[in-house]
Amino acid sequence: MTPHTDNNCGITGPQNGCRASLAQITALPRHHREVIPEAYLDAMGHMNVRWYMALYDQATWDFFQTIGMTPDYFQTQNAGAFALRQFIQYFSEIRAGQTACVHTRVLGRTDKRFHFMHFMINETTAQVASSFESLGTHADLKQRRSAPFPAFMTEKIDARLRHDTQLDWEAPVCGVLTL
C-alpha cells in the first residue's frame, strides 16, 4: 500500500507526486456506497480483495444505468457488455464499520468499446482505498460478440466523456489498457 504524505492528495505517484486529489475524485459521480460489514473482512482484518471487486461491480451496474445499459435494454435488445481487461490498485485499507463509496470517470470509447475508471474512497478515513480501471465492450448476446453501441447510448457516453475530458487533472491510468 502506498503511504499518503499529503492529506489533500488522493493518489500519489513515485515520480510525479500527487496524481489526483481527494476533492477531485469525490467531485466525480458516485455510483455506489455502503458500510462494510464484518463478513467482508479477511484474516488481516481488512476488506478482502473479492469484496473490492463486488463493490466495483455494483458501481459498474449503476454506471451502466446512466448510459442506458439497463436491465430492460439488455432483455429487449438481447444485448449486454463484456469485460475485456481490468487493472486494480490498492492504496489504503477499509475495515468493518467504515463507509466505502465508488466514484467513476469515463476515459474513452470507440464504436464498440469503452474505457472507464472507478475510485473507491474510504469516507470514514477520507482516503482513496483503491482504483479500478476497466476496458469493456458492448455485446450482441445472440451472437456472443462485440457489437456497436446504439446511437442513444453513444450520446450518453459522449456527454460524460466530454465532461470528464475537460477535468483539470489527468486520470491516473495504468498505461496498459487501451481502446
Beta strands in the chain (DSSP E): 9-13, 17-21, 30-35, 79-90, 99-109, 113-122, 127-140, 145-146
Least confident of 4-13, 76-85, 155-164, 170-179: 4-13
Average pLDDT taken over every residue of the chain: 94
Domains along the chain with CATH numbers: 28-165 (3.10.129.10)
pLDDT at 7: 58
3-state secondary structure of 3: coil
pTM of the full structure: 0.92
Mean pLDDT for the stretch of residues 130-151: 98
Question: Above 60 in pLDDT, residue 5?
Answer: no
Q: CA 114, CA 179: separation in Å to the nearest integer?
A: 7
Reference 52, options 123, 143, 111, 132; nearest CA is: 132
**What is the spatial distance between Cα 129 and Cα 26, in angstroms, rounded to a whole number?**
13
**Residue 110, SS3 per DSSP:** coil
Residue 54 sits at the vertex; the CA angle it makes with 50 and 55, to the nearest 5 degrees, is 120
What would the pLDDT profile of 15-39 be if each residue is shown by its tens digit? 667 889 999 999 999 999 999 999 9
